[in-house]
Amino acid sequence: MVLLTTLNKLSSSLTKTIGPPLFRTGLSLRNKLVPRNPNTINNYWIDMLFLIPYSQKLLSLAIYEETKVQIDSFRRQRFDAMAATDFYNDKDDRHDKEVQDLQTTLRNATVDASATVQMAEIRTKVLNDILRPSLLPTETWGNDIENSWRYNIRLVAWIRKEILLAKYGPFIQEAMMAYPSLRMSPQFQSSNRRRFFIDLMNRGIIQWDQKNNTSTDNSPYDESLATIQRLPRTNVVVKALRMRDWSTQKNSARFRQAVLPLVTKLGGTEYQSPLDDDEEDALVQKTKNTGTTSGHLAVSKPGTFSFTHAMIPPETKLDDTSLDDLLEVVTGGYINNCGPLNALCQEANCYQLWTREYVEHLGDYLLRRIESSNCCESTVILDVGAGDGLLIQCLKEYMYDKMMTSKPKAGKTGLTVKTDHEIIVAKRGMPKLIATDDMSWNIFTKANVEKLSVDQALQTYAQATKRTTKDTLSDESNREDPPENQSRSGQVIVLCSWMPMGEDWSAKFREAGVDEYILIGESDDGSCGHNWWTWGNSAFRDGTIKSSKDMPSVAPFIQDGYERRDLKELTSYQFSSFDCAISKSSNTVSFRKLQD
């Protein structure tokens, strides 16, 4: 035990001693020796050359270890203060066990709101003490931000994550203690245990194989439950992650509301510049997989695609500006109005936090689509870019249960009649639900996911369902019939959650002739897909890379014979990494193929 303690102290000392100077030196050399252009600013291998990713890990570890030391000290002081009261000095045997249990609870856990707030303040102070000198050695905008790391999106994303975890880590731990159904969500069950889960486990507050008896959650974890039944309820997410007062509507003016006052305080101005094709392409490449930019995409006037950018004088001193506010400006409004939800999604590496109601409502919608189709065989529901495969697994369980366990209803004559869903099952059988992903993100899968790219998935499952409509043709004739003369015997519905920014997979869906595709994530002017080619937002048409005088003004999906329907009934049940107190970012949109 003594040796382990000594090694821990030595490790903590080394990370605090080596991490900050290694980070500052690496970043400084990178900025001096490497020309700044779109091809080098976000080049990971250049960062590796200057050991920046390694120094980031050392800084993160230093923040984590110092935070742990100070919070343990805070708990001991709090326990000692409580133990000094007459109640804790009571030697009555009747109180011995009660006192011991309460002492253990006080020492190991957060038991009131004030303690949670104080621990968040401790974490934030540690982060500022260690990280700020590394990021802002001269405390000036030009030297430390504009000409250093402002446009390195990978670095910005890491800084944002550290700030969110410092501010809201204790609130997440509090939520995990109180709500086992949130803690035990299959979305968080991966091979890589996250740090706030490890904290709770190491302190003995929670155990993965037992429910928390002091929980306020009425639906504790049960290993025998199906995957969908282990998803948290919407009301649990809202209560546990403190989102009762959060906006339920999208607010396109969030940049002006949240960022411009800070820009003005720093003596800066808002700058809107129209983007040409190369600039937009560079911006898209910078923001892929991170969700943040150094400004804000905006529409300055109808038909004009522009980039709203905060212009700060390089000589501006930053001593009186918090690190939170500086990152609010750099990220374009993704810090100050965030909360435990954003920190949880960052640490769990997920864009969408699934809830049981969302899956149930989406499953009901899909069942209605099956019922309304004239297909004589099973529907294929294909999830492309499925990641861990959790969504399709939960849908499969829910739809199977809904379709196969419906009980007959009694008719007026006293005879039993089949329910609508039983009729669907009898006619078409269980729909075929398939999750596919190219595995390029190295995500830990939680269900069966086939390793297929978008093109391969469509070729395998969308094209494969095409058959001739002529009943008199033989199987050999069917194989020879050209694709344009073929139709499907079962409809194909594609699901796509958080399509990568700047990429348009929807054109491939339409080219494959799928009957419907459903997009989950930010729409129209966000970070999912392409705002014109995917969503048909005319405000972004003239700024697109492929724009030309001959480009039709009609949205691509309309031109290809599809109609859009926003599934608003699902919005209130979905939560994303980029939701905030003043704006909800994620929704669900269906695009249906019009019948001839």
Domain end (from 208, 227, 246): 227
As a whole number, mean pLDDT of residues 98-106 equals 52
* 141, pLDDT greater than 90: yes
Tokens representing residue 487 in the block: 């139709």
Angle subtended by helix axes 420-428 and 390-404, to nearest 10:
110
Residue type, 108: N
DSSP bridge partners of 269: 311
239 vs 41, which has greater pLDDT?
A: 239
Tokens representing residue 483 in the block: 């694709």
User: What pLDDT, in 10s, does the model give residues 311-366?
Assistant: 899 999 999 999 999 999 998 888 999 999 999 998 888 899 999 999 999 999 99
Work out the pLDDT band at 465, boundaries 50, 70, 90. low
Q: Angle at the Cα of 359 (from 353 to 360), degrees rounded to 5?
A: 145
Position 224 scores a pLDDT of 58
Alpha-carbon gap, residue 302 to 362, rounded angstroms:
34
Contact partners, residue 155, CB within 8 Å, separation at least 6: 47, 52, 56, 149
Q: How far apart are the first and last CA of the chain?
A: 76
Kindly state whether residue 303 falls inside one of the protein's structural domains: no
Kindly state whether residue 485 falls inside one of the protein's structural domains: yes
Work out the pLDDT band at 96, boundaries 50, 70, 90. low
Work out the burial of residue 280: count CB atoms within 10 Å of its CB; fewer than 13 is exposed, 13-18 middle, 19 or more buried: buried
Name the nearest CA neighbour of 28 among 135, 130, 127: 135
Name the DSSP class of 382: E
Mean pLDDT of the chain: 78
Work out the pLDDT band at 76, boundaries 50, 70, 90. confident
- Give the torsion sign (CA, 170, 172, 173, 177): positive
Query: Residue 534 phi/psi, 5° resolution?
Result: -90, -45
Position 215 scores a pLDDT of 46
User: What pLDDT, in 10s, does the model give residues 526-539?
Assistant: 889 998 999 998 87
Tokens representing residue 342 in the block: 């954003």
* 444, pLDDT greater than 60: yes
- Whose tokens are 């500022």? That residue is 128
Name the nearest CA neighbour of 285 among 271, 274, 275, 300: 275
The region of weakest confidence among 30-34, 69-73, 416-420 is 416-420
Residues 219 and 357 reside in one and the same domain: no
Q: Residues 364, 449, 585, 510: what is their CA dihedral angle, to the nearest 10 degrees?
A: -80
Name the nearest CA neighbour of 254 among 563, 532, 526: 526
Residue type, 148: S
Tokens representing residue 21 in the block: 């100077």
Kindly state whether residue 313 falls inside one of the protein's structural domains: no
Strand ranges across the sheet with 304-311: 269-274, 304-311, 295-301
Contacts of residues 3-9 at CB distance under 8 Å and 24 or more positions apart, as own/partner, are 8/65
Position 7 scores a pLDDT of 55
Tokens representing residue 138 in the block: 């001269």
The region of weakest confidence among 115-129, 200-214, 268-282 is 200-214
Residues 14 and 162 reside in one and the same domain: yes
Please provide the size of the chain in residues: 596
Residue type, 335: I
Angle subtended by helix axes 323-331 and 153-178, to nearest 10:
120
Tokens representing residue 313 in the block: 């004088």
Work out the burial of residue 176: count CB atoms within 10 Å of its CB; fewer than 13 is exposed, 13-18 middle, 19 or more buried: buried
Alpha-carbon gap, residue 5 to 496, rounded angstroms:
48
| Confidence (pTM) | 0.80
Domain end (from 227, 249, 284): 227
204 vs 184, which has greater pLDDT?
A: 184
Position 136 scores a pLDDT of 96
Helix (H, G, I), strand (E, B) or coil at 354: coil
Alpha-carbon gap, residue 346 to 370, rounded angstroms:
36
Position 464 scores a pLDDT of 63
Position 483 scores a pLDDT of 43
Kindly state whether residue 383 falls inside one of the protein's structural domains: yes
Kindly state whether residue 254 falls inside one of the protein's structural domains: no
Name the nearest CA neighbour of 165 among 294, 68, 287, 263: 68
116 vs 470, which has greater pLDDT?
A: 116
Tokens representing residue 590 in the block: 């269906």
HEC readout, 113-138:
HHHHHHHHHHHHHHHHHHHHHHHCCC
User: What pLDDT, in 10s, does the model give residues 539-555?
Assistant: 777 655 444 555 667 89
Report the run of H or E that residue 409 belongs to, with start and end: strand 409-410
Position 208 scores a pLDDT of 43
Report the run of H or E that residue 353 belongs to, with start and end: strand 352-353
492 vs 180, which has greater pLDDT?
A: 492
520 vs 546, which has greater pLDDT?
A: 520
Position 447 scores a pLDDT of 86
Q: Which of 339-343, 372-376, 413-417 has the highest mean pLDDT?
A: 339-343
Position 385 scores a pLDDT of 93
The CATH number of whichever domain residue 427 belongs to comes to 3.40.50
CB 467 within 8 Å of CB 351: no
Position 81 scores a pLDDT of 74
Residues 217 and 363 reside in one and the same domain: no
Task: Tell me how far CA of residue 544 lies from CA of 88, 302, 423, 509, in angstroms.
Answer: 69, 14, 47, 20
Alpha-carbon gap, residue 542 to 555, rounded angstroms:
12
Position 374 scores a pLDDT of 61
User: What pLDDT, in 10s, does the model give residues 201-256?
Assistant: 444 444 444 444 444 454 444 555 678 889 999 999 999 999 999 998 888 777 77
Work out the pLDDT band at 2, boundaries 50, 70, 90. low
- Give the torsion sign (CA, 52, 53, 55, 59): positive
Query: Residue 492 phi/psi, 5° resolution?
Result: -120, 125
CB 61 within 8 Å of CB 18: no
Tokens representing residue 564 in the block: 């859009």
Kindly state whether residue 108 falls inside one of the protein's structural domains: yes
Kindly state whether residue 300 falls inside one of the protein's structural domains: no
Domain end (from 180, 204, 227): 227
Position 485 scores a pLDDT of 47
Domain of residue 175: give its range.
2-227
Kindly state whether residue 251 falls inside one of the protein's structural domains: no
Task: Tell me how far CA of residue 302 lies from CA of 167, 201, 298, 541, in angstroms.
Answer: 39, 54, 10, 10
Alpha-carbon gap, residue 469 to 137, rounded angstroms:
71
Q: How far is CA 426 from the centre of its chain?
A: 38
210 vs 568, which has greater pLDDT?
A: 568
Structural domain count, the chain: 2
